Structure 1
Amino acid sequence: MATLSTAQRLVVKIGSALLVDKQTGAFRGDWLRSIAEDIARIRARGTDVILVSSGSIALGRGILKLPATTLPLEQSQAAAAVGQIRLAREWEDALVPHGITTAQVLVTLEDSADRRRYLNQRATMETLLGFGVVPIVNENDTIATDEIRYGDNDRLAAQVAVTVGADQLILLSDVDGFYSANPSEDPSAHRYEVIDSITPEIEAMAGDAGSGLSKGGMKTKLLAAKTATAAGCAMAITEGSVLHPLMALEAGANATWFTSRLDPHAARKRWIASMKPCGEVTLDAGAAQAMADGRSLLPVGVIAAHGSFGRGDPVVIRDPQGATLGQGLSRYTAEETRLIVGRHSWEIEEALGYPGRAVLIHRDDMAL
């Protein structure tokens, strides 16, 4: 079974109720500082950490003195715009004493639905993590409407975990795990320690989306678990309101772990290999050997490109004799690829007329 101490890349979802007191609307500074200490300890052992943090609307509501009722869309978006600045500042102030640099990443549902934007987001996140930065991710509530939003940060956190190839996702909740029924209504309800498979019986226990103990209910947490575990990421639901909630989980606090039999990298490779290709690229001998050595594909190693593909589309990778080496997601369109075939990285801007990425297909985006 997964344990927090073994995580290599960790995504932590934090709901607004953990950051903002429901009764007073005040920011829970002590709690934030305690989880910042947790994050610093986890990162000190070499684990990448990504935070999916709610709270912008709740904070903006208080700053703008809006009522504690359902807000019209325009007021909700205005509250998000005001609150997001405060939220980012609070996270920065909490983590900078530990020598941790933070970055704000705002996303919408379209960023994962559109493959090109998905790859751009993935590349940016990988670069940030490479610099040792802790990304603070939130839905872009300033522009999102019901038609283009995730609607809850459980789903968003799962998608972020898939995007960055995390091996663990922690949902800090107002309940200490997944129960057979709502424990506040059914005294006989029991908590599951481990769930290896999300069966129809498990789904039935979650009830409707609005019947859970937190926003979106347990139904959305199961949907998040399905998304995460299918991509090789184990997921835990645990009580988040206590001080040092991550260290509490590591010390054995109540939780439910959803396991995955896949490695996140293997799951991603399987997904890429299963896609229908839109074109193909042929490599020279040197590039073919570089692929075998686990390197990314650079334009200089390509001798031909065929088909009609866009950025983010899957293409077949062939050796000089035409044999199939594998498949990968292109970071350039077919037209752009043909313009930069055989060119070095410093020649790309001249060939295209605008700056481009050095890599045609990143090694993380190919299945050989």
Structure 2
Amino acid sequence: MKKTFLKKMISAGIIAATMCTMAPLGVSALEKEVSSNWKQSSDSTWSYCIGNTPVKGWKNISNIWYYFDNNGKMKTGWINDAGKWYYADNTGAMQTGILKISGNVYCLNKSGVMQTGSVKIGNKNYQFSINGQILGSELPKVDKGFDSNNNLIKPNEDSNKTESTSNSGSTNKPTPTETDKGSSTNSNSTVNNSTSNNVSSGGNSVTVSGLPQLSEKYSVTVQSNAESKILELMNAKRTEAGLKPLSIDYTLQSVARYKSNHMIQNGYFNHVNPDGTKWTNWLNTIGYKYNSTAENIAYNTTDPVELFNQWWNSQGHRENMMNPSYTKVGIGVLLGNGKYMGTQTFAG
């Protein structure tokens, strides 16, 4: 039967019950050419139906592989299937090759499976972490790049450029599937002209005088050894590049730990807090003096020191760490709710 193709718009990543009926066109994120088997439910998510039955699992459609969850919803971003990781762009198409996703480089084999350990690409071996991110400063040629919303990036664009808060917040918000992957990063920066300073002490406290006491839904432990190691690794890179090393500022460290704990207790991963504020609002609230500031965040489930490599292998985060205008830093690494959550707060 001849297929009729329609132009429809996708909004990905929303979980809801499957409805194998056509919904009115409306909210859009990307154009997609679909046949009559594609069905968009009222929540704008997509399913592929054979008759009235939505497909589940992997499906090859017009020589493109798609994955549908147990509710028949097409998945985008990172997909975990039987312990193996795959990646689909925001049209749902499974990807292969060397991909740069949210500033991090991954290798996906011909079957779409994310590779770890030693991988031979061309005539050279490269090392990839347990989270799939490449290790070291030498990178293979990237085939495609995607931003944190799974959009294909045009050549010479970079999805992890630091962003001024004079714009409407960070665009580096990770997708839920990216968060579920167990390893992600984000960065942001701003400039201000505060005039007063607040001095705080060190130790392993996760509270900040002047900021609200956080809930204790999850127990947390400060990873002070990892914080020190990350500072050591970062300053080694700065010294190698002829830059002055950063000094630990205990107020920034308190705020960095507070941010990591805030994300753990409130179940989110973003520079923008659930109430719409940012770390800059916190700095202003406690009266911290700075001319410019930036924040890096990252997490994983395996190794707190690996957070440094996640930041280093992402251009936006690396630029924050190597910015000569920053002279002070606070590093907050906490273990809680099954993950190592890390925050770097810079100031100059």
TM-score relative to the length of structure 2: 0.23
More helix by percentage: 1
What TM-score does the superposition give when structure 1 sets the normalisation length?
0.22
